[in-house]
Chain A
Amino acid sequence: MALLKLKNLSVNYGAIQAVRGLDLEVHSGEVVTLIGANGAGKSTALRAISRLLKVREGSIYFEGREITAQAPDAVVRMGIAQSPEGRQVLARQSVLDNLELGAFVRKDRAGIKSDIAKMFQLFPRLEERKDQSAGTLSGGEQQMLAIARAMMSRPKLLMLDEPSLGLAPLIIREIFSIIRNLNAEGTTILLVEQNARLAMQHSHRTYVLEAGQITFTGPSQELLSDERVLHAYLGG
């Protein structure tokens, strides 16, 4: 059974149809990449899964349960976390408070504490800046905070919307190796990326979204050598 399943999902902004009839599955333990041109509807799909947008048609299932009409906080409780596009850290609160708020749905004080320690191990830069307000972090540090914060809810499914956006190549590598580690520790990941090649190299399967619809899907290794994908998305 798929951990996450989108069935014929359509999402609109007023009259604009941003996602049309999207079918997508993420299985437990996988890293799945969603790529596509600007405006293809990737962020829209993630926002719909997090229940920030109304679904016009189709359904969303998580662990076999339909969540199409759930509230955003309810799906976080069920185990879906998102690090949104453009990071969206709470600029006026401290790094530590951002992490604590990431664990808002949890009640196990001791577990939260040890997870914060773990995030600091993963991202030592955050520990050095833990009392600083998040708005004063650099772009890369904010990205780390957004990922760490999403992890703090101990999600079964972690959705990352362009984690490499605007980062230096060295930090991008760092972020991807962290993604790989998180997955190795058991977190399932749905990854949206402009950096298609790197994302595909770090994922099991890939979906290609074009104008709100899936045009290609398959194991990332295969798509990486597919002529058409190569041409359109990998600059080859």
Chain B
Amino acid sequence: MDAVQFLQNFLNGISIGSVYAIFALGYTLVFSILGIINFAHGAIFTLGAYLTYSLAVGQFGIGGLLADLQLPFQFSFTISLFIGAILSGMAGVLVERCAFRPLRTRGADPLLALVSSLGVALVTVNLLQYLVGSEIYSFPSDVYGDIRPAFLLHIGEKLVVVRTVQIIIFAVSMVVLALLGYLIGWTRIGKALRAVAENASTASLLGINVDRFILYTFFLSGFLGGMAGSLVGTSFGIAGPYFGVSYGLKGLAVIVMGGLGSIPGAVLGGMVIGLAEAFVPSEYSAYKEAVAFAFLFAVLLIRPQGLLGSSQIQKV
């Protein structure tokens, strides 16, 4: 591989890696607060992609109950992405209400929520299939308006191609990361959120409404999941209602790689997995996922707690 090829792979890697990072943070936030994985996160990813698609395009595809339905509105991509993420956040809140809270208030074993969240995921995916069918949805190429589809970097004889959507994905993810970092690190809400993550009963002794902050967490998590799904969807198309499943697994690989419950770990893990995939030679691209997981195992052999995890599992 020469330097130009390296640069090309690197740029591809950090673009997709940044999306993995914000997606994986959705898992991390919930894990920090409740100590469990929300298996519905991949379904929210899919849901977000369809929501943004329908808002931006204004119509559905040829299959499912909503086939050929024309929506009375259509928004710009930016606004659709934002509304799609907000609606995904609300779906996250719904997941909390349906799959997590009922078990929590009855004092059930937290592990049971794994099963109930998996149940919610299946229902969501099936419902999506019923509503929008199972064919691939591709965002129209003019969805960002009138901008060029790619930027070409000439380096000597060679060419580095950066698709505009890759730049959009990276920029949006970075803005989201920065805002999230600010929210959690510097605001009153963020401090309270970290207090709940560290010790929920101490937090409630300070007058923090723990249940409400759990809802906020699921909203943020759903927002990140839906936004990630929309970004991946605009880049590669929405490959049917099961689209989120493989990303859901990849997201798990990311947080395990970075260290469970660690926010910087999720970001680093996302970048590492994104880059690992990007450096898989194109003739082996069918094995991309396997390579990412192989990389994960290699890291875990050396650091079982993940790249930035502490040796004991510690939240946030």
Residues of B close to A149: CB separation below 8 A = 206
A222 within 8 A of B: no
In angstroms, how far is the closest chain A Cβ from the Cβ of B31?
Answer: 16
Closest to A92 in B: B198
Q: List 15 A-B contacts (CB under 8 A).
A: A50-B205, A52-B204, A52-B205, A73-B210, A76-B205, A77-B207, A81-B205, A90-B195, A90-B198, A90-B202, A101-B208, A104-B206, A104-B207, A105-B206, A105-B207
Q: Which of B49-57, B186-194, B286-294 contacts A (4 or more CB under 8 A)?
A: B186-194
Is A8 interfacial (CB-CB < 8 Å)?
no
**Which listed residue (B191, B207, B208, B210) contacts A93, Cβ 8 A?**
B191
Of all chain A residues, the one with the shortest Cβ separation from B212 is A73
The CA-CA distance from A73 to B212 in the complex, in Å, is 11
| Extra A-B contacts (11), CB below 8 Å, given A71-B209, A90-B199, A97-B191 | A50-B205, A72-B201, A72-B205, A88-B199, A90-B195, A93-B194, A93-B198, A100-B188, A101-B192, A104-B206, A104-B207
**How far is it, in angstroms, between the C-alpha of A82 and the C-alpha of B203 when the chains are bound?**
11
1/0 per residue B62-79: CB within 8 Å of A? 000000000000000000
Residues of A within 8 Å of B, CB-based: how many?
23
> Within 8 Å of chain A (Cβ to Cβ): is B316?
yes
Q: Name A's B-contacting residues (CB within 8 A).
A: 50, 52, 71-73, 76-77, 81-82, 84, 88, 90-93, 97, 100-102, 104-105, 149, 153
Could you say which of B192, B198, B202, B207 contacts A84, with CB atoms under 8 Å apart? B202
- B204, B206, B316: the one within 8 Å of A102 (CB): B206
Q: How far is the CB of B211 from chain A (nearest CB, A)?
A: 8
Q: Interface residues, chain B, CB within 8 Å of chain A?
A: 188, 191-192, 194-195, 198-199, 201-210, 316
B279 to chain A, nearest CB (A): 36
- By a CB distance below 8 angstroms, the chain A residues around B209 are 71, 73
Bound CA–CA A72/B203 (angstroms): 10
